[in-house]
Amino acid sequence: MLVPRLSGSDLAGTAQEQVISVDSSTRTALMDAADHFLETDPARSEYGYLVNEKPALHPRMFCHEDLIEVRRKDPQLLVGLIAWCEELARSGHTLVVGTGYGGPLLLTMQSVNGRFIVQHVDEPTDGAGYESSTRALFSPEGAPRAIGLEGAGSDLEKEIYAEARRTFGLPQDAEVVS
């Protein structure tokens, strides 16, 4: 079944909170908090293939995120991003791929004792490219970017594999197997 893609103003987001600029140190802190949460949240990894079928490999989740926007909803920040996560493990001289996911996310964060903590995650709920609910999660300017970056998984996947190879002590050209 072919699903028509929205274009132009049809992609504009509907979230009304004010988009804010953040300095580089705040951006780094927000992205570090997002990465840590997505890589360690048990609810996101408990159903992974490797963790359930090959636990002896000691798999772990690796994620890469691209920031779309930050909005203020006092006292919290709404952090809109594109995430790509892969469950990976080392087996001998190869990198083994398990379960993965990716797409637009809206993380509600709050500063607690000088550190950002993820309090809630909203994800698109509809299918066919998630345009409708992605538009609801992002600002008028952020939604088109989020929808446009949704297909960037293969680029993010390469970065994740490079990080996993470094973490597991594998050469950068180590074979990736399913």
CATH number of the domain bearing residue 95? 3.10.450
Residue 3 three-state SS: coil
Q: Looking at residue 3, what is its pLDDT?
A: 36
Residue 12 belongs to a domain: no
Per-residue pLDDT 10s for the chain (178 aa) are 333 344 455 778 878 898 999 999 999 999 999 999 999 988 877 778 999 999 999 999 999 999 999 999 989 999 999 999 999 999 999 999 999 888 899 999 999 999 999 999 999 886 556 678 888 999 999 998 888 877 665 677 888 999 999 999 999 999 999 8
* Count of domains forming the chain: 1
Q: Looking at residue 151, what is its pLDDT?
A: 65
Residue 6 belongs to a domain: no
CA torsion through residues 50, 51, 57, 58, sign? positive
> Where in the sequence is the domain holding 137, given as residue range(s)?
17-177
Residue 103 belongs to a domain: yes
Residue 94 belongs to a domain: yes
Residue 1 belongs to a domain: no
Q: Looking at residue 154, what is its pLDDT?
A: 62
Q: Looking at residue 43, what is its pLDDT?
A: 82
Residue 7 belongs to a domain: no
Q: Looking at residue 147, what is its pLDDT?
A: 84
The secondary structure element, H or E, covering residue 69 is strand 60-73
Between the CA of residue 176 and those of 14, 19, 172, 173, what are the distances in Å? Answer: 40, 39, 10, 9
Residue 2 belongs to a domain: no
Residue 8 belongs to a domain: no
* Phi, psi of 118, deg, nearest 5: -80, 125
Q: Looking at residue 152, what is its pLDDT?
A: 62
